[in-house]
Amino acid sequence: MVLLIFLMLVATGLGVAIVGSVALPAHRDGKGMLSARGTARVDAVRRRRPRTH
């Protein structure tokens, strides 16, 4: 069981390292994480979200 947990942590670490090695240089180059279509969808959801104040 300990081996399984250890291997899951290793796999998660590798996944984070791979995504980081791609996302960080792209972010430094000024590229956004979302496309124009994705940004529009996020904005639409934020406008429709009910206020919780």
Greater confidence (35 vs 9) lies with 9
Q: Where are the alpha helices (DSSP H) in 1-53?
A: 2-28, 36-48
For residue 8, pLDDT beyond 80: yes
Q: Would you state the pLDDT for residue 53?
A: 65
Chain segment 24-51, per-residue pLDDT in tens? 887 788 777 778 888 899 899 888 887 7
